[in-house]
Structure 1
């Protein structure tokens, strides 16, 4: 018995010791908890989430395209009993966003309440590790979240790349506002805050169960909670949240490394959130290059001769270094600073642009693989000749605007660098290279099956639809082809190389009159008008579909028959009722004949010689998803190439041939015999 008493005493002592260790960071109760730092705290973590030795909850690390979650381990009963209204609750947390590279983070983090801790099906990047394309907006997910979004995504109606939003069921915010606070010290004047300022901030989320009012308040750390919230709306969360819910955080990164941290956290049910002890909070991690040495500023010359020698040597080395890394940097580019890379960084990232890092060579420049030393971010750097100084500000402004494009089927343009006679464009690196190499060039590349090819076609169509209609401006790509479609780690097709792209406002006409692009993909009307439009992009996309489906280049200079021009060769088989015979011989279409027929007929419609007969990219998406039937094309005895030439020569009668109208209401076919 004495042994049992001693054992019982030891167990109680160990339990008390463990409890004291936990309570040094956390005070818990039936209706509250508070973490002033997370050392020795027990949270449920997944993905990239981790707790550092000094107590910082790091939701992400130095990796791109990842997601993470951190939850209080036990569920909370937000209703006193099943069927009753959700009780009032108050949440407070201290957070910080630390950009690994430059002053930009993608994509953001959320505070969330969810019926489950399993987010294995959630997507990273634009979905913040919270939802995915399929379940976004569905009431069955029972999600309530407050997003801290550092990347603008027009698919979700984001107002800017620095905002707070209330999300219910969906990442399209019920209400949102630019990050900031109403300063009680200055008569309630609104002051902006940058989420990615390397500084700690505190956020409060308050829900009143009686009035169903939701308030979200933001402020710098150490500032008393402002009396006026940043966001306020009414929504009955009893219709959203389930009886038992988990409370925590989610975060994700896009193409740029970003560090999202939580330093302290508290919650109160039917009472204010307990105060977080700021004095106990850990420090926000510091990342990036170390400060430059001040050694030269404190060394005094020992002798005049040595001093002159050192200064002279330093000046010579400095001049040589400046010449080696010289850039053109004009005052007009100051406003684009965050999007500009230094030539020195790009030079070292590519190991001096050596051939071992050469990814490809095109008509507009060479592309090199690089690794940025500060951020460990893999990039693709394209070197383009650019001698003209006219319209440089507008040109750089367009590059910066294109850098704001966010879509899963577009290669992210991260920024640029400019030297004399040379422009360097920096893109997100795609691990599987260009589609062109899988279709034509490299024998060691595995043959893409039809399912992969069809998915790539749909992906590129989705990206092009976003460029034409879903972004704030109309973006003309002007160089759609297989070599400009890159494949990510999951073999998804991403449209890249925006070096020729041009932007204009919705509802206006583009002013471009200079023909650019690649032979074989140029719409026939470009020879007459020189004017690129969304329909010239659609034409190139049609040729792209044929290239992917048939496994042949648009122009085969080695052929001595009708197969020299791919579009005419396909039309010839179409006349004979043998359209599927044009499928790449490496493929079998037994199980996919309907999709192959759809792709080939859609390609002929998109590459129609008459621009007014081509569909919009919105209609293309509907055809590919079988939402509407494809209009029937009536064969003509004249090749597409000849029809295009005749139209350019002014044979207007061929532009008004009798035709049938498909279910979309668009004139889309030609009759024969005229």
Structure 2
């Protein structure tokens, strides 16, 4: 490890290598470094850093990478590239030079145990890659295109506060080493090893407490070492993680060093208090006493109004007090909630009814987004954060099963996937539950496929294929990649919502199953929508991943053809979409089933693939349907789609008896 190189070898190298060290900063707000190979910043007031995105430096010298705005990114990096290759030294000229850095950071989330995305220290061959980076899950480092591309030439140590199954994150509070991808080559829980006891102590990255990180790269051993500890605790002897990484292909000459951070749907602020860096030697030690102060850890309590005690001098004053008490009692009844002792552990996931009442303007009809099978959905904006939300009212008169219901709501609130509508929490009143979600500004996919007012057929084929891939990815996460299996039970276009970038997000996941609490245990309650229900549900009533795949097959055909799974034609005859597409396939004209109102041209091979995959997912036999992982492999071209034989497609005739008139009726 670099920090423990023998003194005489380090000295020999510094004598033979070209002189390349920058001026060190001193004082509380100084910054160092011009173009040298080492620098130190005790605060960043007046520092010569390059900032972009929302990154800024406060008057007090704090480097603020993100300022609490949603869907933003921020970068701060040393203005001049550093020479990570040193052909003039005695070492292998093809190897990246050793380096060492240490920095102090803090993350302020909107909630004590929940944050938006984290931050990363990076080494990048070219800052152009940062200009095209996306916020949210990419930490402002990469995007969908260059993530995993060796040409990105980016190395990073991420301090990640979101669990993202797409990148195989281990949890929502981890440290990882990344090379050209947000899928870490090595990751571990955030924390440190106590020198006195040797025990591992967890650290919450979103605790709003300052922490120090040390990163060392040994160019000869091609080894990265990462250590962290609370600010004020000496560097632990045992590192947090150590892994082999060859940066020779990442830094081909000079490279930039700095920090990147991003936010998604939750407000967060990311701070850096101090930073030092050195090539071919240990980074200069930071003086904790010279670092700038962080903002208050929690919002200051409201100042109390001075209590004025006045004698009751007249009946008028008594009447005024009585009126005030009556008004307060009425106000309390308006915002009354149900609280029970078993809900204490769920506190961070509970919203106050008062906040939701004001957010939705008293659940005004003007805020009503729509009526679902279980209640109305209202648009709102939280007063303190400004965050836009959707609030779903669910009637729940019976107390039977309410504890299990809330427990499952909170459990589902831990789901984290870019193609699922985030369930943020709940509120409970007498006779009803309120579920709080992220607000999706572009509404449901259903209106673009079947709606009026010019929205019908308004999305082109690339957008539709992107939405299909997204919904498949979200379902795969529910079925296989989360810690529990979640069966959606109602996959359909009206339950796919579109965010500001027209990404498809599956909503109401698992809630159909949750609503069954309190039902008669001896009865079978089939939940879903006609046209999407798998045949076996009529016999067993048991939802499985295969029944979700069947509904997804109907969804594929619906999105591609622009038609509902079951419709009435002009002669009032029932038309089953899967049968209609099957006939097109048999006649060799499956591409002709595509939505004729879809704008612009489309790729016939992609349309044919999606339609045939829809038929495969709609097979009457559950064992013949693919899994969602196989579906993703087919869509990504990683595995060829099986041939649909005449014998195979003949079995689709088995499906017709399960359809009845009155399509798209939730049961």
TM-score bucket (shorter structure): 0.7 to 0.9
Q: Which moved more, 1:339-348 or 1:272-281?
A: 272-281
- Summarize deviations over 1:206-255 as a string: whole Å, max 9, x none: 23445444332222222332333222334444454333111101111122
- Output the CA distance in 1 between the equivalents of 2:467 and 2:216: 45
Three-state SS of the structure 1 residue aligned to 2:650 is coil
Q: Does 1:383 align with 2:393?
A: yes
Q: Which of 147, 154, 158 is residue 143 of structure 1 equivalent to?
A: 154
* Contact 2:107/2:207 (8 A) holds in 1: yes
The residue number in structure 2 matching 1:617 is 628
The residue number in structure 2 matching 1:25 is 30
Three-state SS of the structure 1 residue aligned to 2:171 is coil
* Contact 1:542/1:604 (8 A) holds in 2: yes
- Summarize deviations over 1:539-585 as a string: whole Å, max 9, x none: 11111122222222233367544444433444455555554444333
Q: Does 1:628 align with 2:640?
A: yes
How does 1:71-90 map onto structure 2 within 5 Å? 71-81=77-87, 83=93, 85-90=95-100
Q: Does 1:110 align with 2:120?
A: yes
Q: CA deviation at 1:45?
A: 1.5
Instruction: Provide the aligned C-alpha RMSD in A.
Output: 3.1
Three-state SS of the structure 1 residue aligned to 2:66 is coil
Q: Does 1:414 align with 2:414?
A: no
Q: CA deviation at 1:364?
A: 1.6
Return closer, same or farther for 1:615/1:422 CA change in 2, 3 Å cut-off. Answer: same
Q: CA deviation at 1:499?
A: 5.4
Q: Which of 306, 310, 314 is residue 302 of structure 1 equivalent to?
A: 310
Return closer, same or farther for 1:154/1:233 CA change in 2, 3 Å cut-off. Answer: same
Three-state SS of the structure 2 residue aligned to 1:549 is helix
Return closer, same or farther for 1:310/1:327 CA change in 2, 3 Å cut-off. Answer: same
Return closer, same or farther for 1:216/1:101 CA change in 2, 3 Å cut-off. Answer: same
Q: Does 1:642 align with 2:656?
A: yes
Q: Which of 439, 443, 458 is residue 453 of structure 2 equivalent to?
A: 443
Q: CA deviation at 1:600?
A: 2.5
Three-state SS of the structure 2 residue aligned to 1:130 is coil
Three-state SS of the structure 2 residue aligned to 1:546 is helix
The residue number in structure 2 matching 1:180 is 191
Q: CA deviation at 1:479?
A: 0.9
How does 1:473-492 map onto structure 2 within 5 Å? 473-492=484-503
Q: Which of 469, 479, 491 is residue 468 of structure 1 equivalent to?
A: 479
Q: CA deviation at 1:21?
A: 11
- Output the CA distance in 2 between the equivalents of 1:149 and 1:46: 21
Return closer, same or farther for 1:310/1:170 CA change in 2, 3 Å cut-off. Answer: farther
- Output the CA distance in 2 between the equivalents of 1:203 and 1:330: 42
Q: Does 1:198 align with 2:204?
A: no
The residue number in structure 1 matching 2:350 is 340
Three-state SS of the structure 2 residue aligned to 1:335 is helix
The residue number in structure 1 matching 2:72 is 66
Q: Does 1:291 align with 2:301?
A: yes
Q: Which moved more, 1:481-490 or 1:212-221?
A: 212-221
The residue number in structure 2 matching 1:495 is 506
* Contact 1:523/1:609 (8 A) holds in 2: yes
* Contact 1:72/1:246 (8 A) holds in 2: yes
Q: Which moved more, 1:115-124 or 1:66-75?
A: 115-124
- Output the CA distance in 2 between the equivalents of 1:352 and 1:585: 43
Q: Does 1:566 align with 2:577?
A: yes
- Output the CA distance in 1 between the equivalents of 2:573 and 2:65: 59
- Output the CA distance in 1 between the equivalents of 2:87 and 2:538: 73
The residue number in structure 2 matching 1:395 is 405
Q: CA deviation at 1:42?
A: 2.2
Q: Does 1:55 align with 2:61?
A: yes
* Contact 2:531/2:659 (8 A) holds in 1: no
- Output the CA distance in 2 between the equivalents of 1:286 and 1:352: 33
* Contact 2:378/2:392 (8 A) holds in 1: yes
Return closer, same or farther for 1:593/1:233 CA change in 2, 3 Å cut-off. Answer: closer
Q: Which of 507, 528, 543 is residue 539 of structure 2 equivalent to?
A: 528
Q: Which of 318, 322, 340 is residue 330 of structure 1 equivalent to?
A: 340
Q: CA deviation at 1:534?
A: 0.9
- Summarize deviations over 1:116-163 as a string: whole Å, max 9, x none: 112123232122111234433344333221111111122223222112
